[in-house]
Amino acid sequence: MSFSFLFKPVVGKLRQFIPYIFAILSIIPVSSQAASSAVILQYHHVSDETPRITSVTPETFKKHINYLAENNFNVMPLVDVIEALRNKKVLPERTVTITFDDAYLSIYTNAFPILREHGFPFTIFVTPTPVDKNYQQFLSWEQLREMTAAGATLANHTMSHVHSVERLPGETKAQWLSRFRLDLELTEARIQEKTGHSVKMFAWTFGETTPELRATLDEMGYVGFGQQSGAAGEYSDFTRLPRFPMAGIYGVNDFAIKVKSKALPVTSQSPDSEL
């Protein structure tokens, strides 16, 4: 008899309790958790007209931001949160930071006015190639510079949104890692050239990574961000810090529970690779 067959229904049923687990974590005394904890939110499109799996509607986004404002959340720049976590400094309760991946135009048209109204900082992980080519759904460098002047931070998301974990046909491990390193360097240089920003923060495309890539990222002095749900803390892996995806089915329900989540003192996780 296959034990995996027996366990599948149990695992399926356990998934429905995940929001309640987050709720329990949010009321555990701080002394029993990591000293510092922050929730990093990840958005892509803020639009009614883009794929639901990578989008929240402007109405939903406004509800999220209003909730943070009305409930006295401490919305901080990502660079400040990372500095505090790495140096084991205690962050204020209910610390949240807002990030966007890919530099889509709807960030400027639909999200930026709401964030600016509240004075909330945010980070955009930029893929420069579609920006350079003036693709219709992407931001321009002028718009990116306008948002940085209002408190946004720009960070690295590869030059053209390559799938970093995939090797090219016939590519050796050394060539693969060298290509990854060069892509990060070119992306960082382009962002710095166009906006003056170089914060050495990197969001993994598709949220996928491997131990070899993370070691390279760490050697280059970057902090990495994934797409796995959870709060970030001083014990987190700084080459793939967790973020809560706010899109599709993930961005609709239980927002209040997620932004109140606390980081657990987890020092290792499995699987170690998305391959």
- What pLDDT shows up at residue 252? 63
Task: Write down the mean pLDDT value for the chain.
Answer: 88
Separation of alpha carbons 22 and 81, rounded Å: 21
Beta-bridge partners for 154 = 124
- What pLDDT shows up at residue 14? 45
- What pLDDT shows up at residue 251? 62
Q: Are 195 and 154 in contact (CB under 8 A)?
A: yes
Residue scoring higher pLDDT (85 or 2): 85
Q: Are 82 and 201 in contact (CB under 8 A)?
A: yes
- What pLDDT shows up at residue 29? 44
- What pLDDT shows up at residue 4? 38
248, pLDDT greater than 70:
yes
pTM of the model: 0.85
Residue scoring higher pLDDT (30 or 162): 162
Q: Are 36 and 91 in contact (CB under 8 A)?
A: yes
Which tens digits make up the pLDDT trace of 53-100? Answer: 999 999 999 999 999 999 999 999 999 999 999 999 999 999 999 999
Single-letter code of the amino acid located at 250: Y
- CA–CA distances in Å: residue 65 to residues 12, 24, 121, 259: 32, 23, 12, 11
Percent share of the chain, pLDDT over 70: 84
By CB atoms closer than 10 A (0-12, 13-18, 19+), residue 123 is buried
Which tens digits make up the pLDDT trace of 133-156? Answer: 999 999 999 999 999 999 999 999
- What pLDDT shows up at residue 21? 47
Angle, vertex CA 55, rays to CA 53 and CA 61, nearest 5: 140
Count the alpha carbons within 13 Å of 193 in the hemisphere toward its beta carbon: 8
Percent share of the chain, pLDDT over 90: 80
Separation of alpha carbons 42 and 103, rounded Å: 12
